[in-house]
Amino acid sequence: MKTKPQPLDLEEIKIIISDIGKKAEQLVNYFKYKLKSACEFYLRYKDKPELLIKELPEYEEEVKKFVIERHPILQNILNYTAFRLKEYNDWLFKLAFKDVLEEK
């Protein structure tokens, strides 16, 4: 049965896995570290596709999908690229948390 989405509760996870042994605290700390890293990744690049491309050029082709088409002459004059930020941010969130959101 699928439950409603809830805030992350690492203490609950710690209690559940504590039966595994003494490594429970280390495991919870590792989960916390990885989740924090994913959150920081998302927050760093949210609304900043140019920064993502600059720092992680391997995502350039993916990010280009969110460019708003403009007249080439105007784009050159303005030296400006507009993005569909809502769609970009949705994609970025799914990228940051892909292993959690992936349906098995």
pLDDT of residue 24: 73
**For position 93, what pLDDT does the model report?**
94
The domain limits of the chain are: 8-45, 48-104
Residue ranges of alpha helices (H) inside 1-104 are 10-17, 24-45, 49-55, 60-64, 72-78, 85-96, 98-101
**What is the structure's pLDDT at 42?**
94
The Cα–Cα gap between 17 and 11 comes to 10
Q: What are the per-10-residue average pLDDT scores of the chain (104 residues)? A: 69 74 76 88 93 93 81 55 84 89 71
pTM: 0.70
Question: How many other C-beta atoms can be found within 10 angstroms of the C-beta atom of residue 28?
Answer: 18
Other beta carbons within 10 angstroms of residue 13's beta carbon come to 15
pLDDT at 40: 93
